[in-house]
Amino acid sequence: MNSPAFRDWQSVQDEVLRRIRTRMWEPGAMIPNEADLAVEFGCARSTVNRALRSLAEAGWLDRRRKAGTRVAAQPIAKATLSIAVIRHEIEERGQKYSYQRVARTLSVPPLDVSAAMRMPAETVMLYIRALHLADDMPYALESRWINLQVVPGAQDEPFQNLSANEWLLRHAPYSDGEIAFSAVNAGEDEAELLACPEGAALFAVDRLTWDGDASVTKVRLLFAPGHQMRTKL
């Protein structure tokens, strides 16, 4: 049936997605080419292109030049997690945010840290440990190493009331980053700070940022037990 009118790319996208989800177009199967779909939907090829490109980005379609477009055999669900600044995360839920600096020292980081940051083992860095609280309950524990060779200005900051994260966002240029999620058991001091039993399973987020070849900062966020990151599929 020649469908009535798919005038904008979103409606084309919706229709294509519907066909994929209802298995009208089966996983792995080829779908008609852009020109044919444009005719069927009664719109321009670029509109179809926009819709299909967007679906390919989301992992629903595999596209290759000349080879054509096929439904992903393997819908690699791309879960997009928004890593907001913790203060905003908390305030958006209507809770009271507070921040508590636990430690601030100049010292030589453990070997795994200096290695990950690709700095000589004996390099002195700025270490900040702080607690983020929601409604006065521990929410996340932040442990951060800052490369003073890249961000010398950090040395003059107390980070007493302002989280290092927010300061760095504003002052430290960077070009790259990696992020990793994992689960770890709470150590003795971590358990105390987060007010949870030792050994509790904590959701951990590790971030490492680079400015060119130089590492800017390495941070681990340990969330209080029960923390979840959610997203639509």
What residues make contact with a second copy under the rule CB under 8 A?
21-23, 26-27, 59, 74-85, 88, 169-171, 173-185, 199-204, 207, 209, 211, 223, 225-233
For DNA, give the closer residue by CB, 25 or 99: 25
Residue 233 within binding range of DNA, rule CB under 7 A: no
Q: b vs e for 47-58, b when ≥16 Cβ sit within 10 Å of the residue's Cβ? A: bbbbbbbbbeeb
Which residues, in sequence order, are bridge partners of residue 106? 126
Residue 165's binding partner among DNA, a second copy, none (Cβ under 5 to 8 angstroms by kind) is: none
Q: Which of residues 4-23 bind DNA (CB under 7 A)?
A: 7-10
Which residues, in sequence order, are bridge partners of residue 202? 184
Residue 27's binding partner among DNA, a second copy, none (Cβ under 5 to 8 angstroms by kind) is: a second copy
Here the tokens at position 74 are 């393997």
The single residue among 15, 17, 63, 87 that binds DNA, judged by CB under 7 A, is: 63
Here the tokens at position 91 are 């305030």
Q: Note whether 164 and 144 are within 8 A (CB).
A: yes
Residue 66 within binding range of DNA, rule CB under 7 A: yes
For a second copy, give the closer residue by CB, 106 or 169: 169
Q: Is 6 exposed, middle or buried, given 0-12, 13-18 or 19+ CB atoms closer than 10 A?
A: buried
